[in-house]
Chain A
Amino acid sequence: MTTTVDSSTDSRPLSGTWPARSAAGLLALAGLVASVLLGWRQGDWSVFFRSYILNYCFVLSLALGGLFFVMLQHLTRAGWSVALRRLAEFVAATIPVLAILFLPLLIPVLTGMAGVYIWTNPDAVQHDPVLQGKAAYLNAPFFIVRCAFYFALWTLLARYFLKRSLQQDATGDPALTLRMQWWSAPGMLLYALTTTFFAIDVLMSLNPHWYSTIWGVYFFSGNVVGFFALLAVLAYLLQRAGRLTQSVTVEHYHDVGKLAFAFVVFWAYIAFSQYMLIWYGNIPEETVWFRPRQGDTWWVGVSLLLLFGHFVAPFLALISRYPKRRKAPLALAAVWLLFMHWLDLYYLVGPQPAAPGQTIAALHATDVTLFIGLGGLFAFVLLRLMSRYTLLPARDPRLAESLAFENV
């Protein structure tokens, strides 16, 4: 078994990506322009911004999943994953760009758009004792301060782990591995807190009367499912492009498949924990959240599709060893999981009544155009990173272990 890789060819940065990059860039531009035009034509910008929250959270969740993966590998001193870790570092390194893309969301917050975050609207708060009670936390200045902190921290962590790793490519200093390992512990702790509060601030506060204490974990579990799916797809596409063919083996796919399977189950576990307690307690102030999701045929369909598509089908599809060790079936399952992860966020964001008493529309055109816009931008940034840096931490002290890795 070979433990050395000709990194000069196998893991060199992607070249000739300009067609793909321009395609992604054009898609991003077209999607964003179309969305703005649609929002402008609708007159009601709250629909646009809710679609923006949905798709923004989708791309951000993948990046957060990547950051989690990088820190987890350092924290556990994992050997198997070194061949894949650079890809996760790239995914996490999109966070600085995503932080800028968060800025448009300040418009509804600062203008008090009731159809997006009703707690930002002074008139609505004035007549609502619950919102008055929560105003100490749910107010625009504090929201902005918190979000600034989250993005500053994530940017810091993502850049730190990518930079140290690239530094090791140049120097081969094993002490860098120990430093990253040391920082991964407090990083993970802060990551857990910030991801939880981000989920509460940006997603749960869409319905500020309602609360769930498992919300942050729910958001996190979906992020990680999405990230592992993305990782499988990235590895598959890179190998089709002739990169990482020697270093990433079927054993790595097998492990990514196992982790995707595990987090699919974890997601279902968390989602059901939230559902069962609310179902059992049967208190109106809690069941109100599930009411629109089960009261309308379209959203019942989405809920059932999530149950079967985000849990039952991938559970049965990934439980066996066979599909996890076949690249194409695994990539196919991964694309499906990415779609399901998007649908999960759609399920979280979509059915919130834009304003009290307003009817809930099923699917807006901006849900799709902003997916194309933000997804294209995300792909553009990833392609840029992959064509700039080596695709493998070539001088990581545990690389040999990763290359020789075999599932027993």
Chain B
Amino acid sequence: MNTKEPKVEGRLQALLAEFDSVGALVTAAERVRDAGYTRWDTHSPFPVHGIDQAMGVRRTRLPWLVFIFGLIGCATGLLLQWWTNATGALDFGWLPTFLQGYDFLISGKPRFSLPANIPVIFEVTVLFAALATFLGMLAMNSLPWHHNRLFGSARFKRVTADRFFVCIDAADPKFDAQGTAQLLAALGPTHVEPLADLPSPARWPHGLVVAGMVIASLALLPPLFAAKARLSKSPLPRIQPIQDMGNQERYKTQQANFAFADTRAMRPQVPGTIARGDPLDDPHFYEGKVDGQWVKTFPPQVQVTQSSVRRGQQRFNIYCSPCHGLGGAGDGIVSARALRLDTPGWVQPTALVGDLVRDRENGNIFNTITHGLRTMPPYGDQIPPADRWAIIAYIRALQLSQSVQRADVPRDQWPEER
């Protein structure tokens, strides 16, 4: 065996020793380990039990990484669900809308329900732990490498068949071209080979680069489409890739359904059913009546304050003003348009600030809002009773505003003299 300094073209990179048995490999690994080398590796066609100890490889720290990422995943899953569903009712208005949580009430459960959250927490934990395992393993092994200098050795090809190799890197602090070669030669290898710089620098294969660029470009398309959809408007109906909720099979009214004894798809209400919010025991509040007479007052639970009148103003402007007008004169935009188009049979909405409504009892107005009158539709199912009373308070304020004396207004709120 030649123990002189190995001859090699170019700079010496590593020394590669070839063995013909697994026993020789393990013994060699133990000797190299004992010689204090740190930057070296062994290669074999199959996993060798005990090679870790023979090489003095420290146990991997990967489990800790996986555990920590599992915990992070656990916390992320919990936080995600808490944020998306439990904070909708909290005051996070200063955040952009797409960062705010929802306020969905699901099956009457609390907004933050741990049992419902556990499956997602579990999945996110597993996802984070699995990604940490995979990516951490790659990172700790400095993978992926698309090339290895060992591929430059013709002998090394037999590592997949029946040969075992020890490779010591020239960058090892203990490396000494002659001394290391002697050490390896003493281990009974079938061959020791110096490895030099590869003739061609390691380059990514051309096809792989092109394929990677194509895939990366294609991957940009979905986010681009999403961005375009977010930033533009379209008159077309939205696309529903999954038609489960938009178009579902269902029974229509008056159809037959043989699941029931009476074969009717429409189910009768359970005897004794009452609709939500039905008047029960407070006709003053729910009907505007006391002893069958329209009340002139407000119910005791309705406090007419500045804020309730403002609430009434807001509701009025939403529900009433399109027809009755912002000032209550019966000149809303719906009416104005109908008059402009000469709609046949159009009756102009009542002027709320006129004498007719001024003299009408609160209870009567309440009844009109609830059930509608002539062409006016009922609003009882859209406006809760308290808001109807607030609207009445606002209508009273509008009426007052049409017949106010200068003396009724505080001096500092007089309009500018013209």
Contact = CB atoms under 8 A, between A and B. Distances in A.
The judgment on whether A and B are partners is: yes
B119 A276 contact: yes
A318 to B, nearest CB: 13
Chain B, interface size category, equals 10 to 19
A8 B205 CA distance: 63
Given A275-B115, A276-B119, A408 B67 contact: no
Contact of B49 (A272, A280, A320, A408): A408
B67 A276 contact: no
Contact of B63 (A280, A282, A321, A408): A321
A406 B50 contact: yes
B118 A276 contact: yes
Interface residues of A, number: 11
B47 interface: yes
Contact of B116 (A276, A319, A408): A276
A319 B47 CA distance: 25
A112 B96 CA distance: 67
B77 to A, nearest CB: 15
Contact of A280 (B47, B50, B67, B107): B107
A298 interface: no
A279 B67 contact: no
Interface string A342-378: 0000000000000000000000000000000000000
B409 to A, nearest CB: 58
B129 to A, nearest CB: 11
Interface string A204-217: 00000000000000
Interface in B93-130: 107-109, 115-116, 118-119
Contact of B67 (A272, A282, A319, A406): A319
Contacts of A275: 115
A282 B108 CA distance: 10
A280 B50 CA distance: 51
A279 B115 contact: yes
- Which of B49, B63, B67, B108 has the most chain A CB atoms inside 10 A of its CB? B49
Contacts of A319: 67
B47 A408 contact: yes
Contacts of A406: 49-50
B51 to A, nearest CB: 10
A279 B47 CA distance: 49
B107 A282 contact: yes
Contacts of A276: 115-116, 118-119
Interface string A258-300: 0000000000000010011001101000000000000000000
7 contacts: A272-B115, A276-B116, A280-B107, A282-B108, A320-B63, A321-B63, A406-B49
Given A276-B118, A280-B107, A408-B49, 6 more contacts: A275-B115, A276-B115, A280-B116, A282-B108, A319-B67, A408-B47
